[in-house]
Amino acid sequence: MSSKTEPKNPDADVQLVIDLMDGFRASKAVFTAVSLGVFDRLHQGPATCAELAREFDCRPEALERLLGACAGLRVLQVEEGRYHNLPAATRFLRVASPETLSGYILYSERVLYRMWSHLGDAVREGKHRWEQEFGKKENLFDHFFATDIEKRTFLAGMHGMGLLSSPATVAAFDLGSFDRFIDLGGGTGHLVIEACKRYPSLRGAVFDLPSVAAVSADYVRQAGLQNRIEILQGDFFRDELPPADLYGVGRILHDWADEKVATLLEKIHQRLPAGGALLICERLLNEERDGPATAYLQSLNMLVVTEGRERSANEYEALTRAAGFRSFRFHRTGQPVDVMLAEK
């Protein structure tokens, strides 16, 4: 008699492990295709491997393997020897797409892929691998923003990621009673833009470093909200926060250790009026510490790249209550980030 614990399909276990083994290969294939500009080129029209090889100065037999991998991964299709983009590539892998994730992909290619090669050392030592990989202790974002093009490319990728989640995060709780929403470290402003779209009486601002301000202004203008959303320059750790009855931090707190998070939360709490609130957008770990896998992979990413980590709802509640907030609610969005609301 077979054991009740015996898997119904043992081959599924084998395939699971094989898929995990192949995961980095699939990522690297897509990273390389984005870096070459394959998807932007094919948006102009279908092309053969030979045509693309001439344009990209690649060996045709080698490029055919990359294109075949992308076709197998369902971002390209080949018909009568000519390759063209499938919808996922058109929407997310072209630099020029308004939904592009290419900036985040290029950041993954040039920074994360290299730093993740030291994951074992990060786990053993419990700290990021910036100096180990790049040989110096420089500010992480100084590296991303070395040129204006690199800065805009990176922020465009973060904007694309934000577009996946921000509509759901601003809809999770009724924010209609608030007057002014300040998006701290808001980058392109996707969070406050979506909030202002949903709540017509809400006014807002993006508060970020001076190096980001021009990019923020461009995205706000493109959204047609320049009359309702200001661009304010500053460092939320060092400078006084502009007045608001609602602050937002999207993908910010996970960058920092608990001590710095506590400092920022206390600063926000002190600045808020009675009845004010803080909207926190981050991936939430299960309280059972068994997932979700995407949240734990992101937490490993924070280990490798920053001093921060992902947290559970209970951990965020403890941090906000220690800072003085009287209530805390959370909502799992089903999108790349979840959302929490802490009220004063």
Q: What are the two backbone dihedrals, phi and then psi, of residue 123, each rounded to the nearest 5 degrees?
A: -65, -40
Query: CA 339, CA 258: separation in Å to the nearest integer?
Result: 18
Q: Which of 200, 203, 281, 193 is nearest to 242 (CA)?
A: 203
The amino acid at residue 317 is E
Q: Are 232 and 207 in contact (CB under 8 A)?
A: yes
Query: CA 223, CA 218: separation in Å to the nearest integer?
Result: 9
> Residue 203 has what pLDDT?
98
Give the SS3 label for residue 341: strand
Q: What is the DSSP string of 111-130?
A: IIHHHHTTHHHHHHH-S--H
The amino acid at residue 13 is D
Which two tokens mark 80? 């009568």
Q: Which of 242, 224, 220 is nearest to 233 (CA)?
A: 242
Q: Which of 212, 201, 147 is nearest to 177 (CA)?
A: 201
Query: CA 30, CA 92: separation in Å to the nearest integer?
Result: 12
Which two tokens mark 90? 């058109």
Q: What are the two backbone dihedrals, phi and then psi, of residue 295, each rounded to the nearest 5 degrees?
A: -70, -40
Residues linked to residue 79 through DSSP beta bridges, in sequence order: 82
> Residue 135 has what pLDDT?
84
Sign of CA dihedral 261, 266, 272, 275: positive
| Helix residue ranges per DSSP H, the chain | 10-36, 38-43, 49-56, 60-72, 87-92, 102-107, 113-116, 119-125, 130-134, 140-144, 148-171, 190-198, 210-222, 258-271, 293-305, 313-322
Q: What are the two backbone dihedrals, phi and then psi, of residue 294, each rounded to the nearest 5 degrees?
A: -65, -35
> Residue 2 has what pLDDT?
43
What is the rounded (10 degree) CA torsion for 7, 10, 13, 16? -120
pLDDT tens digit at each of 344 positions of the chain: 444 455 567 788 999 999 999 999 999 999 999 999 999 999 999 999 999 999 999 999 999 999 999 999 999 999 999 999 999 999 999 999 999 999 999 999 998 999 999 999 999 999 999 999 988 665 566 666 678 888 888 899 999 999 999 999 999 999 999 999 999 999 999 999 999 999 999 999 999 999 999 999 999 999 999 999 999 999 999 999 999 999 999 999 999 999 999 999 999 999 999 999 999 999 999 999 999 999 999 999 999 999 999 999 999 999 999 999 999 999 999 999 999 999 99
What are the structural domains of the chain? 10-92 (1.10.10.10), 162-343 (3.40.50.150)
Give the SS3 label for residue 249: strand
Query: CA 195, CA 202: separation in Å to the nearest integer?
Result: 8
Annotated catalytic residue, options 118, 254, 269, 331? 254
Q: Is 254 a catalytic residue?
A: yes
- List Cβ neighbours of 286 (8 Å cut-off, separation of 6 or more): 292, 295, 312
Residues linked to residue 341 through DSSP beta bridges, in sequence order: 279, 329
